[in-house]
Chains A and B, each alone.
Chain A
Amino acid sequence: MQNYMKNNRLFWEGIIIIGVITLLGCVNLYSALITPSGTVDSLFYRHLLWLLVGGVIAFFIHFLKPIDIENFSAIFYILCCILLVGVLLIGKKVNGAQRWIGIGSFSFQPSEFTKLALIFFMARIFKQMPVVETGYKLNQLLVPLIIVMIPLLLILKQPDLGTAIIIFSIAFFTILLMGVNLRLLITFFASFILLSPIFYHLLKDYQKKRFLAFLMPEADPQGAGYHTIQAKIAVSTGGMFGKGFLRGAQSKLGYIPERHTDFVFSVFAEEWGFFGVVVFILLYLYLIYWMFRVTRNINDRFLFLSASGIIFLFSLHFIINIAMVSGLFPVVGIPLPLMSYGGTALIVYLVSLSFMLKLARVY
């Protein structure tokens, strides 16, 4: 009981840091969605609604026992795979990609759930596998690889390269964490480099353009390089202390595409400047460090791997997104958790954090 009280402090610390970042997300989204007439776009209220829905779901998830989650992970995974097949069959097509399933006026992205489902299911698979001192060899990794390949191929078919990369990275991270044979790792990287021209060839035209635009955005400033240049202008003109809340000209004048989703951080950087950027990054690092502290206490392999996966999920989105917004990384559709608009993703993140909060209380 005393143990429980002590960890209550970790729990409340988590509540506060999550609350601060979520609030910051809302404030920033408000600025990103303000219309020239001074009113805020209805998407902002949708975001609040999603927050409420996600909060309620997370609240109930919080009362599940960790063992339930372990038992439920296979079903969750299979459900996600079925939904992904469903997307390809009856999904909504937006901008040439089929990623959503619509229910009434709402629509959700099964690929977002898949990220979490894969984390849990991989954790479960690896819990049952024996630990190999020299690391796993390829033949020992067959089952986990098949488990990854099914959703990965389904998502690539949509197509959604950004999410596919995340899915692959989650699996890769979990395998690395469990230890992999050094020779296998080297072979993998070598073949990846050798095969990369073929991968490039398989990319869609717009994806190739984005990649080239990343390498030299100034070559086509009105076309493929437009996102990057405009986002860089927004970030840079923020200067040291920013232009102030609601004063970001780049976003207000519509120069930044996707300013409420993937590029929401450019709005933040423009309005709060380098000072704000550093504060935000430190806050986010604190969130990740808090998750690490929670994970450190865990003595169950399933829960440890799940929590590590969630840390990885957050940190990967975070680092790719802020690198992409500043032009350090090519434009891929990866949102910033808790900051970007996006209903399904928000629920997934809230559920993950609820899970972390539960672990903070239990361990």
Chain B
Amino acid sequence: MKKIYVVLDSIPQLEKRLFLYIKFLSIFVLFIIGYYWFLQILRHNYYLELSEKNRIRNIRITAPRGVIRDRYGVIIASSAPSFVLSIVKEEVVNKDELIKEIANVLKKNPKEIKEVYEAKERVTPKFYPIILYENLKREEVVKIEALKWKLKGVKIDYKSERSYPYNDFCSHLIGYVSQVSSKDIERLKNRIFSTKIGKAGIENVFEDYLKGFDGVTRVEVDAYGRKKKVLYKLDPISGGSLKLTIDWELQEVAEKALGDKNGAVVAISPKTGEILAFVSHPNFDPNLFVKGFDREEWVKITNNPFHPLQNKVIQGAYPPGSTFKLITAIAGLEEGIIDESTTFYCYGKRRVGNRDFRCWRESGHGRVNIHKAIVESCDVFFYELGLKLGPDKIAKYARMFGLGEKTNIGLPGELSGNVPDTLWKKKKYKQSWYDGDTLPYAIGQGYLTVTPLQLALAYATFANGGTLLKPVIVKEIETSDGKIIQEQIPTVRSDVRMSSKTLDIIRKALIGVVNESGGTGYAARVPDIVVAGKTGTAQVKSFKERKKQSGFLNDHAWFVGFAPAYDPEIVVCAFIMHGGHGGGVAAPVVREVIDKFYKKERVANAKLHEE
């Protein structure tokens, strides 16, 4: 072989330097291996966690909320699918074009959509779809699905959402669900803030039964947030359904009968304490709370002087007026101060000290006994009786019938009303009790206040012969696995002892109120059924003050009735704020409800027999 290459003396030196480089390199590589050890072994768990955060997403599946039914199974609150429009940012080709297309479909202003989009984008974590609109209409969904090829990046999901098919029907009792507030989040630590919870009424009280348990899907997503694999799925458990004691048809009639008048109607069964109708007006549409209010809608509710959100059945306490004469009369009879033949003379007014207390009939009722006094609602008779009884005796009987204390219906914000006596006045005003305080007290005015539910229960206590019951609103709860729970069962709070003579006298008088000519509750008569009851007209202001003011502060109108008079199955209490005379305004409302109750009872029985 021919030797072509010349050996140069510099080669050994070059080789030494090259070898030095190799040595340096090896040290570097060793160092890098050490770093890989640090990264892959020592920091393994830390990065594993980062990686899970990277690729694992927990997608919550909201449990369908349990439905709420009336006693016969009519659905008052349901869980309906709600369509949600969201945008997957990573798939969007041209944002402005897309917004224009969406605006076309939803018939909205593109500028407005852009604003919503940008606001939502800020609060949405990266790689999550941006939820643009909830509660889409079905036809909008159809349109979007049809234009899907054009709307790249748009996604339609559906979730279960609370819906109240009869809108404002029974709204105060049912309550509503809405977005949890920051305060709620603190309270309900384990629940995520995107859910809605019961905020008022039954929805609030029975939240734990209704909400169910949310499910979760754990998915692996790629770098663009696309779902790749479902790793784990936990199905949601839907909430238990409630069966209320409410009778849908009766409730509807009661609401219609009250119409746009402000006030309350409550119907209960005197045998069980079950509430059959529960109306407070003005009311509200709970659906608005679910979807969130427009400014306009919210202003409408908050500016209403009659407070639509106030539940007037239990959250308002008002003077009961003459309906309270029931209690005064029972006290008089039971204490032996009067009997059926005791009479007082009514001149149209009664003077105490230097003050005149009027009877509602200025010309006077003449000589009156207990029967006539109740039928014609003579005030002077009860002034005389009240003076003989004294405030503490009246208070004792009022409390026996459950006034002055909460009925414990189990709804938030219930008031206990006020049953005054001498001790109370001393505490409250540091004054002794005067006879001038006793007179209005005896006819249900002055310091005395009651809630419509309390009054209905007091009449129920009389109607069933002396059993004070706890009100019942929920008949049964059916959990999602079919178990029946009875949270509320008919409970006796206390027994009121009354002689049969007393019961007889009063019952006859209350029948007279409705059925005798000259009775103040004539408007409450129902064909074929004997209705008994008592009217009430509570002065809001004194005569003098009223004259100064406009007609706005009219009297409160009351009527409490029960039927059939001798074996009562229903008690109805109607209260109309500033409505005027009880006999003229409130009695017809009660009539409507009782009338329906008996027509309905037949229908319901027939239905039961069919099954």
Binding site for B on A (CB under 8 A): 36, 66-67, 131, 173, 176-179, 222, 229-230, 232-233, 235-240, 249-250, 253-255, 269, 273-274, 277-278, 281, 285, 288-289, 292, 295-296, 298-301, 303-305, 308, 311-312, 315, 319, 322-323, 326-328
Contact = CB atoms under 8 A, between A and B. Distances in A.
Contacts of B46: 236
Q: Is the interface of B mostly helix, strand, loop or mixed?
A: helix
B13 interface: yes
B388 interface: no
A308 B14 contact: yes
Contacts of B40: 235-236, 238-240, 269, 273-274, 277
B22 A288 contact: yes
19 contacts: A131-B8, A230-B54, A232-B47, A236-B43, A253-B55, A253-B223, A255-B54, A255-B222, A277-B33, A277-B40, A281-B29, A281-B33, A300-B5, A300-B7, A300-B8, A301-B11, A305-B14, A311-B18, A326-B36
Contacts of A281: 29, 32-33
Given A177-B14, A236-B43, A249-B220, A301 B8 contact: yes
A100 to B, nearest CB: 26
A18 to B, nearest CB: 18
B515 to A, nearest CB: 82
Contacts, number: 131
A295 B54 contact: no
A301 B275 CA distance: 108
B146 interface: no
B21 A312 contact: yes
A66 B222 CA distance: 51
A232 B11 contact: no
B500 interface: no
Given A277-B36, A311-B18, A239 B44 contact: yes
Interface in B38-96: 39-41, 43-44, 46-48, 50-51, 54-55
B15 interface: yes
Contact of A304 (B14, B19, B32, B126): B14
Interface of B: 4-11, 13-15, 17-19, 21-22, 25-26, 28-29, 32-33, 35-37, 39-41, 43-44, 46-48, 50-51, 54-55, 126, 220-224, 228
Contacts of B21: 173, 177, 311-312
Given A274-B36, A285-B29, A67 B4 contact: yes
B35 A326 contact: yes
A215 to B, nearest CB: 16
Contacts of A323: 32, 35
B22 A319 contact: no
B28 A300 contact: no
Given A269-B40, A299-B8, A315-B25, A328 B32 contact: yes
A66, A239, A327: most-surrounded residue (chain B CB, <10 A): A239
Contact of B11 (A274, A278, A304): A304
B21 to A, nearest CB: 7
A176 to B, nearest CB: 7
B125 to A, nearest CB: 10
B1 to A, nearest CB: 8
Contacts of A319: 25, 28-29, 32
A299 B4 contact: no
A301 B14 contact: yes
Given A255-B55, A300-B6, A315-B25, A232 B224 contact: no
A281 B22 CA distance: 14
A236 B15 contact: no
B14 A235 contact: no
Contact of B14 (A178, A229, A253): A178
A326 B5 CA distance: 44
A43 to B, nearest CB: 18
Nearest to A327: B39
B224 A254 contact: yes
Contact of B220 (A232, A253, A308, A311): A253
B25 A299 contact: no
B471 to A, nearest CB: 58
Contacts of B18: 177, 292, 295, 308, 311
B11 A236 contact: no
A296 B36 CA distance: 31
Contacts of B8: 131, 299-301
Nearest to A242: B40
A237 B47 contact: yes
A264 B6 CA distance: 43
Given A236-B44, A296-B15, A323-B32, 10 more contacts: A230-B54, A240-B40, A288-B25, A301-B14, A303-B5, A308-B14, A311-B22, A315-B25, A319-B28, A328-B32
Given A239-B40, A326-B35, A253 B221 contact: yes
B7 A299 contact: yes
Contacts of B39: 232, 235-236, 326-327
Residue in B11, B32, B46, B228 with the greatest tally of chain A CB atoms within 10 Å: B32
Contacts of A288: 22, 25
B11 A298 contact: yes
A327 B4 CA distance: 48
Contacts of B36: 235, 269, 274, 277-278, 322, 326
Contacts of A308: 14, 18
A309 to B, nearest CB: 10
B127 to A, nearest CB: 9
B29 A255 contact: no
B19 A292 contact: yes
